[in-house]
């Protein structure tokens, strides 16, 4: 294709309608037709990136291969498309203003008065077009965070208005996602909120080309016609987005509604192929028709908000489908785990995953969970902080170093089995200063982690500041905690596992970030298989007793 096409996804009426899922689903359909497609997210908050945000504020922080701390929607993009995103795929207002101010300080504006228009909007337009200028993509989909009418989103809407005028109608289109609520008292769907949302969009100079309507009930032809007339779109461009059993159903629902067909028509692109969703639908079939069920305990301190562990939960779905097993996840708050409650809470679990996190709140509960998994031969996976808790638990209860800890939790600990990296000790700025992005790791042949991957050289994504302290490595290994994954450049331990345990693995990196529908992560596949094997053994033992 000679020229990159741009699609902008805006939202109205309410937040959390699923702009990211709609964008990812459309991208999947276009990709399945052979178009090279990517997605980016424009976030209207003033934080430079989500890296310093509390998970309760914005869900998990998703890390890309190149080390960018980004919005969790980028995880959806990668899981749907199986294509890596990058720093260019997520832009915040904070980053926009930071860049403009730095340019002003360098004198690049030649003494001009710096204003929202044209300086901020020009910066936004530049960021939108970065992905389209390198020749890698035919179509760039840009999701604009927030809802139309928000004061924070106005510069983005204005930038899109200018860009659509500059690119031409055949090279850019607007998809507006809105809500069509059902009023039980009236017994009918109401279109007025959508009409007002589209009116607000038009007041900013933008006309919706396609309406995607989130709804709990089917849209009748009469409602579609009414929306088309009042919102100034073709009836074929009024797309129903009804509640789905799983987000992975949405591409098929959008295919049925013809979202990809309408999009191609409006962008003057050939509509000569049918999306090839065979592999996608094979995954869906396995996911919806499992042959067994298991229960995994997710031990964390942000469990009240499931988006805090979004990538982990999705990785369970991918690995469960691969094993033809339904993975029931029981979220357990680590602050409420103690010796009196642990047997009751963990009695029916087939495996334990101790989740990542920062700070000392809830860590003792995580350590107790690790101890339970170790002593009861329960399949265990520790991710990042979860791996570090496994090292601390082993040092305390096997090596008898009772004060063993991480210097993150106790800076004065006598036995810092987890310690701050030397290059981190002088860091004062928190944002973007951790060990981030993909790092090499060499695995020990014959280990459980090597068996999971089927190779000795891997590359995984990191997001942490503290590390396994190699001063304790020899002592830990002698007692049975093996270091089976090492970073070849730094010599830092990336993977630990227990020699005398059926499946006990801790990884310093975040495998969940690289799990997709097309390529479920091998660590999660192996963990779910181990949990399934544990479940079968327990059931067989129970039957034998009867």
Q: Please, what's the b/e burial string for 139-163 (b: 16 or more CB within 10 A of its CB; e: otherwise)?
A: bbbbbbbbbbbbeebbbbbbbbbbb
What CA–CA distance (Å, rounded) separates 39 from 62? Answer: 15
How far is residue 332's CA from residue 44's CA, in Å, rounded to a whole number? 33
Give the side-chain half-sphere CA count within 13 A for 323: 25
Which residues sit in the known binding site? 15-21, 56, 73, 143, 150-152, 190-195, 226, 244, 357, 385-388, 408, 465
494 is catalytic: no
Q: How far is the CA of 512 from the CAs of 85, 95, 422, 443, in angstroms?
A: 15, 26, 27, 18
List b or e across 357-384, with b for residues whose CB sees 16 or more CB atoms inside 10 angstroms. Answer: bbeeebbbbbbbbbbbbbeeebbbbbbb
Q: Are 490 and 440 in contact (CB under 8 A)?
A: no
Query: Running DSSP on this structure, what letter comes out for residue 334?
Result: G
Burial of 22 (0-12, 13-18, 19+ CB in 10 A): buried
DSSP assignment of 424-483 equals GTT----TT-SEEEEEEEEEPTTSHHHHHHSSSEEEEEEEESEEE-GGGHHHHHHTTEEE
Annotated binding residues for ATP, written as ranges, equal 16-21, 73, 244
Catalytic residue, chosen from 60, 384, 415, 462, is 384
Radius of gyration of the chain (CA): 25
Please enumerate, by residue number, every residue annotated as part of a binding site for UTP.
15, 190-195, 226
Q: How many CB atoms sit inside 10 A of residue 422's CB?
A: 8
512 noted as active-site residue: yes
Angle (CA) 332 338 344, round 5°: 65
Binding residues for L-glutamine: 56, 357, 385-388, 408, 465
Phi, psi of 102, rounded to the nearest 5 degrees = -65, -40
Angle between helix 310-322 and helix 73-81 axes, rounded to 10 deg: 20
Q: 450 an active-site residue?
A: no
Angle between helices 363-375 and 385-397 (to 10 degrees): 70
Instruction: Classify residue 65 by burial, with Cβ atoms within 10 Å: 0-12, 13-18, 19+.
Output: middle
Which residues participate in the annotated binding site for CTP? 15, 150-152, 190-195, 226
Which is the catalytic residue, given 119, 287, 510, 521?
A: 510
Decide if 437 contacts 66 (C-beta within 8 A).
Answer: yes
Query: 287, 501, 512, 521: which is the annotated catalytic residue?
Result: 512
Q: Which residues are CB-contacts of 300 (< 8 A; sequence separation ≥ 6)?
A: 308, 309, 331, 332, 333, 334, 354, 355, 357, 362
Burial code (b: 16+ CB inside 10 Å, e: under 16) for 336-347 equals: ebeeeebeebbe
Active-site residue list: 384, 510, 512
């Amino acid at each position: 294709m000679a020229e990159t096409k741009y699609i902008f996804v805006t939202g109205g009426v309410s937040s959390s309608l699923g702009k990211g899922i709609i964008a990812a689903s459309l991208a999947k359909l276009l990709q399945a037709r052979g178009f090279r497609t990517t997605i980016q997210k424009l976030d209207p908050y003033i934080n430079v990136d989500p890296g310093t945000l509390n998970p309760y504020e914005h869900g998990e922080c998703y890390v890309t291969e190149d080390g960018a701390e980004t919005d969790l929607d980028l995880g959806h993009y990668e899981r749907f498309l199986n294509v890596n995103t990058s720093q260019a795929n997520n832009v915040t207002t904070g980053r926009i203003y930071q860049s403009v101010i730095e340019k002003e300080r360098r004198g690049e504006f030649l003494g001009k008065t710096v204003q929202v228009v044209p300086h901020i909007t020009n910066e936004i337009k530049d960021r939108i077009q970065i992905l389209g200028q390198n020749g890698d993509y035919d179509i760039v989909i840009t999701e604009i965070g927030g809802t139309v009418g928000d004061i924070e989103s106005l510069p983005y809407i204005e930038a899109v208005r200018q860009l659509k005028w500059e690119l031409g109608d055949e090279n850019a289109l607007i998809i507006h996602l809105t809500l069509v609520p059902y009023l039980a008292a009236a017994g009918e769907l109401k279109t007025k909120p959508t009409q007002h949302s589209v009116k607000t969009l038009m007041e900013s100079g933008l006309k919706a080309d396609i309406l995607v309507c989130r709804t709990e009930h089917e849209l009748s032809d009469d409602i579609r016609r009414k929306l088309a007339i009042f919102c100034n779109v073709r009836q074929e461009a009024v797309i129903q987005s009804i509640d789905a059993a799983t987000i992975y159903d949405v591409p098929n629902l959008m295919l049925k509604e013809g979202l990809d067909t309408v999009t191609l028509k409006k962008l003057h692109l050939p509509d000569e192929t049918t999306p090839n969703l065979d592999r996608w639908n094979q995954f869906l079939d396995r996911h919806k028709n499992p042959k067994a069920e298991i229960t995994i305990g997710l031990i964390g301190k942000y469990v009240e908000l499931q988006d805090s562990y979004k990538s982990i939960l999705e990785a369970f779905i991918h690995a469960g489908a691969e094993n033809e097993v339904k993975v029931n996840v029981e979220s357990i708050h680590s602050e409420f785990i103690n010796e009196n409650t642990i047997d009751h809470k963990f009695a029916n679990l087939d495996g334990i995953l101790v989740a990542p996190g920062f700070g000392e709140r809830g860590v003792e509960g995580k350590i107790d969970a690790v101890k339970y998994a170790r002593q009861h031969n329960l399949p265990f996976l520790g991710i990042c902080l979860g791996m570090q808790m496994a090292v601390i638990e082993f040092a305390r209860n096997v090596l008898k170093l009772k004060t063993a800890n991480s210097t993150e939790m106790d800076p004065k600990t006598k036995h810092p089995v987890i310690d701050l990296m030397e290059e981190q000790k002088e860091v004062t700025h928190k944002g973007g200063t951790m060990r981030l992005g993909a790092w090499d790791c060499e695995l020990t042949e014959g280990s459980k982690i090597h068996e999971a991957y089927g190779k000795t050289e891997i590359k995984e994504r990191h997001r942490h500041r503290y590390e396994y302290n190699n001063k304790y490595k020899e002592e830990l290994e002698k007692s049975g905690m093996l270091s089976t994954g090492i970073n070849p450049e730094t010599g830092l331990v990336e993977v630990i596992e227990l020699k005398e345990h059926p499946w006990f693995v801790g990884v310093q990196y975040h495998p969940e970030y690289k799990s997709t529908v097309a390529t479920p992560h091998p660590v999660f596949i192996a963990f779910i298989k181990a949990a399934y094997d544990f479940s079968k053994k327990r059931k067989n033992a129970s039957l034998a007793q009867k």
